[in-house]
Chain A
Amino acid sequence: MPTFADNGDGGCARKILLKAIAKALHMTHSNADDYLRMYRQMVRIRTFEDNANQLYLSAKMPGLTHMYSGEEAVAVGICEALKTSDKITSTHRGHGHCVAKGADFKEMFCELLGKEEGYCRGKGGSMHIADQSNGNLGANAIVGGSMGIATGAAFSAKLLGKDDVAVCFFGDGATAQGLMYEVMNMAALWKLPVIYACENNGYSEYTRTDEIAAGSITARAEAFGIEAFQVDGQDVLAVNDLSQKLVERCRKGEGPFFIELMTYRYHGHHVGDINREYYRSKSEEKDWRENRDPITRFRAWLVEEGIASEEEIEAMNAAIKADASEAVEYALNAKYPDASEVDMHVFTDVEHALA
């Protein structure tokens, strides 16, 4: 397999060619349902985030949260290539991964508000949301903290003879963590079914990626003999195509793989990061929103290909909005965990750790 590392014009031309081939392949698919599901999942993520942001702005949500808006094609393109028992590990910017892997709005909003019916009974919150039922091993508030976990999930799949694949989501900033290099080395040595998915949104917190990452990110994986790819993270079909192939190859024992997905976050680093012109210009943000939005792009494609009409799409959007509003209402009125839960779940075999 070639690597799509962005190393000059050659790489670019190859990318365009591969995209054309990918597109040709789609034409022959009759997977309208798959496409519509991908669209729907992307809109669900965007809608979830819009509501979460509103909850923050109206002071109804405790703490801060990190918006995934703008990066939807990454989570959806990858997760749509996975089955329920495949595992993912997520990040502080994790709502998108959670939704894409199959989570429900109600339990997610309940978790964000610290309510008992949340996925983690209110104990985790936005930065630790996990959804065991869909193979989401959890968001992580330690940058790079899940790299070992994803690699371990791949290790256990191999050990236990399952064909499950693990996907490790992390940001460009997390590539600075030493742990990544330790586990990539082992994953490569032991041919583990893990895909390292680097969501390169150009920034880690308030710093541009080129100021904190030397050399090429994909070349670092290649140094371990791991096949690495760079893909347009705003193009859900390109992401999904590549993911389908790599997941299949992982299942055949050809892993691990590394993908660098070029993407962008629309909001600040977190919801409270409002005045950010000192590190990122408004015109840059505008350009990504207006010209490279994954949802707008995919929607246009769906209409162009005759897969859905504008009306059908509007109806779908409206249904998702209604769904989200209902879930938010539900979560706002849901109850907090009882105080007696505070010392539960410290150990598996002790009901109340402090009793």
Chain B
Amino acid sequence: MRNITLSQAVNEALAEEMRRDSSVFIIGEDVAEAGTPFKVLSGLVEEFGTARVVDTPIAEPGFMGLAVGAAMTGARPVVDLMFGDFIFLIMDQLCNQAAKTHYMSGGKLNVPLVLRTNLGATRRSAAQHSQSLHALVAHIPGLKVALPSSAYEAKGLMKTAIRDNNPVVIFEDKLMYNDKATVPEEEFLIPFGEANIKREGEDITLIATSSMVQVCEKAADILAAEGISAEVIDPRTIVPLDEETLLRSAKKTSRVIVVDEGHQNFGITGEIAGRINEKAFYHLDAPVVRMGAMDVPVPFSPALEDITVPTPEAVAEKARLLMSGEMIHAA
């Protein structure tokens, strides 16, 4: 086994799928020679050429729409959207076009497209380069949404996404591109809709996505030292969502905190908490607690930005409150 960065993992997944299937191509801004600002795609244009690693003008709605059309007619685009925040520019093509085409055509047209983008704050990039907007697309029927939490997931989920016949949006955590994890050399895929129990525990369940998986693992360490056994679960895809695994854990521990880096209001945490309330209510000893990013635009100043995202200490503190039996309302 070897350790590689999340960035290398994505690069490998793309290279393998492009070798396997000549209809797969990458399109986006500075994806070729520059290999993206995060250097995730370095080397791909050398192997696959500029016909399949396509640099575009700064025209997100344009190349997104073009990719939808290409996907409907036999190609398999992987669209590179430099920052997750730019998803607002392509919403029509993604949500009105890509998401609905299969349904509106009565199942006759497919849009096998992957949109690769990112999420994550605390990079000092201010309000238009720091958002975690996965809840917006998860809201739209017809779009699958994957949230890799390490290099291993990034590779396995990317390969599955490319082979999927539906539009899939993958959000990578831009702060994790250089983080290493063990990734097998031999080929593997991670199926959608299968949560990963990162750590087993008895007293409380921490359901965490993407960047928040690390945070919750650290919180679990803090809690373990205090004699509280936390289970950490990573859903890996939020559409489809592996309800069964989440519910099983909720019923086992009877206490749940859902942690996600999207805004808390009207977000992923509320959705997951709602499903657990509906389907495991009588097994719970406390309300399901939501912890998302603070409901403010992401501020530039480090003094403010750092307090907008859940930290291991904050998660541990919430867990203690739940364990103490106090009926709390998540702030």
Interface residues of A (CB under 8 A from B): 62-64, 114-115, 120-125, 127-128, 140-145, 173-174, 176-178, 204-207, 211-213, 278-279, 336-337, 339, 341-343, 346, 353-354
Contact = CB atoms under 8 A, between A and B. Distances in A.
A125 B128 contact: no
Secondary structure type dominating chain A contacts: loop
Contact of B301 (A140, A205, A336): A336
A337 B303 contact: yes
B33 A128 contact: no
A63 B303 contact: no
Interface centre among B34, B37, B58, B294 (most CB of A within 10 A): B58
B126 A141 contact: yes
A114 B58 contact: no
B50 to A, nearest CB: 10
Contacts of A174: 58
A346 B123 CA distance: 21
B37 to A, nearest CB: 7
A62 B129 CA distance: 14
B177 interface: no
Interface of B: 29-30, 33-34, 37, 55-59, 61-62, 85-86, 89, 123-129, 294-297, 299-304, 307-308, 331
Secondary structure type dominating chain B contacts: loop
A125 B62 CA distance: 30
A149 B163 CA distance: 41
A173 B300 CA distance: 25
B34 A207 contact: yes
A5 B89 CA distance: 31
B126 A127 contact: yes
Given A122-B303, A125-B124, A207-B30, A342 B59 contact: no
What 6 A-B pairs have minimum CB-CB distances, sorted nearest first? A125-B300, A63-B124, A114-B301, A176-B57, A122-B301, A336-B303
B156 to A, nearest CB: 30
A63 B59 contact: no
Contacts of A341: 304
A235 B188 CA distance: 59
Contacts of A114: 124, 300-304
A144 B58 contact: yes
Contacts of B304: 114, 122-123, 336-337, 339, 341-342
A205 B296 contact: no
A337 B301 contact: yes
Interface centre among B61, B86, B89 (most CB of A within 10 A): B89
A84 B57 CA distance: 35
Given A205-B29, A343-B296, A127 B129 contact: yes
Given A124-B126, A142-B128, A354-B294, A212 B57 contact: yes
Contacts of A125: 124, 126, 300-301
A122 B124 CA distance: 11
A353 B296 contact: yes
B126 A63 contact: yes
